[in-house]
Amino acid sequence: MNLACSGVAPQGKVEDWVQLVSKVEPIQERSRMENGMRALFQLFQKAPELGSLLDPSTVKADLLIASFDELRPQLMKALGAEADADRAEQGVMAAGIAMAGMILSKRYVLQITNVPYLSRGKQEETIAKYCKEHFPSSSGDLATVFLEKMLQSNTLGGISCCVTLQNWLFLGSYKKFREGLLSKSSWNFVAKLGAKAFQTPMWDFNVMLTIIQNKRPSNSHSFSGLDASTCQTAETKYIGLKFESVREMNQAEQMNNPDSRIAFEEVQTNTPLGDFAQCYQGLRTGDKDRFFRSFWEVNMGNGWDFIRTTNSTLLPIGGMSEVIFWEEGLGQLHQFASENRNKLHDMHESGNSAWGRRGVIINEQANLKASLFFGEKFDA
């Protein structure tokens, strides 16, 4: 079957891998094969961390290096002739990796997948660095990186159908990503599903279905969309996908929205709130069980400060039940954040530009509840 696992790294020494093509003739072609095997070995060293994010097309085949398409039949031939069990097992692995390289290096007319979800703050260092270097405009979440990777892997006119997070339609951090997609790709369909769209137990991600084509859009190109996010269960969302009204949006006009945000309804052209106010994300500690308590559980003043959280009521003031072990910003939390800077990126101080100022605090998702804000530290 035409299947391959992209998460397997080569084992042993590179010299052992080169030996698998040591009998190729003529000698000039053998040299190309050996160089191709070295490139294959180096490329897939990070396969356990990067998986199908690897891009074998970055290793260009030429007069000195063999391509993955050329390597695979030679590897299978070497495998069939190998009597030594250890070498045969190595050949099986090499052939599988060559197959993965061949599949990942091709271009496709249709790709359909449910991508993995992992925000940048939770990514392992190797993945985070790779995404930032190769996919800077979509690196906020692994799901969006995979969508961009799929679009890059399409033939001209190829289509990617994807289940992905909904937040990149409007978050400011994805502005360049949206602008690139709107100007270079033809959108065909967007279906907002919202939270609880999966039948299997998962976090309440706000997800959507997208169909995007690798084709530069005309000024008159329009795409269709529907919103089934108000349906409360996977079953009712399934019905909503069939019967909710479909709307038509001109793709070029989406670029006129603030930050090129994707909107199903007409966006008002009045002065935006961003001209009068600033918005900040709250702090994260990386270990809430250690640094957060309810105010009645501790002796206030011994390093504990109040921290605002989501207001659970509709009252004008609320969300003041929790405290954080702050120690004037110089204690255990400061040390913990310093030791984990590569992962937390100083998120324990996020939102500090709003500390000491007045405003409005509002939770990020689900049923939005707001209350007056008086300058306290606040969580995410």
**Spatial separation of the C-alpha atoms in residues 364 and 8, rounded to whole Å:** 38
The pLDDT of residue 114 is above 80: yes
Q: What DSSP element (H or E) covers 344?
A: helix 341-344
Return the minimum-mean-pLDDT range out of 33-42, 162-171, 269-278, 298-307. 269-278
pTM for this prediction: 0.71
* Residue-level pLDDT at 60: 73
* Residue-level pLDDT at 82: 47
Q: Which of the 8 DSSP states describes residue 254?
A: G
Give the rounded percent of residues in the chain with a pLDDT score beyond 90.
39
3-state secondary structure 44-112: HHHHHHHHHHCCHHHCCCCCCCCCHHHHHHHHHHHHHHCCCHHHHHHHHHHHHHHHHHHHHHCCEEEEE
pLDDT tens sequence across 222-243: 999 999 988 888 899 999 999 9
The pLDDT of residue 343 is above 80: no
**Spatial separation of the C-alpha atoms in residues 173 and 155, rounded to whole Å:** 28
- How far CA 182 is from CA of 213, 216, 246, in Å, comes to 11, 9, 20
The pLDDT of residue 83 is above 50: no
Ramachandran category for residue 80: left, alpha or beta (phi over 0 → left; psi -120 to 50 → alpha):
alpha
Return the minimum-mean-pLDDT range out of 31-45, 93-107, 156-170. 93-107
* Residue-level pLDDT at 75: 67
Confidence band, pLDDT 50/70/90 cuts, at residue 366: low
Give the rounded percent of residues in the chain with a pLDDT score beyond 70.
93
Q: What DSSP element (H or E) covers 274?
A: none
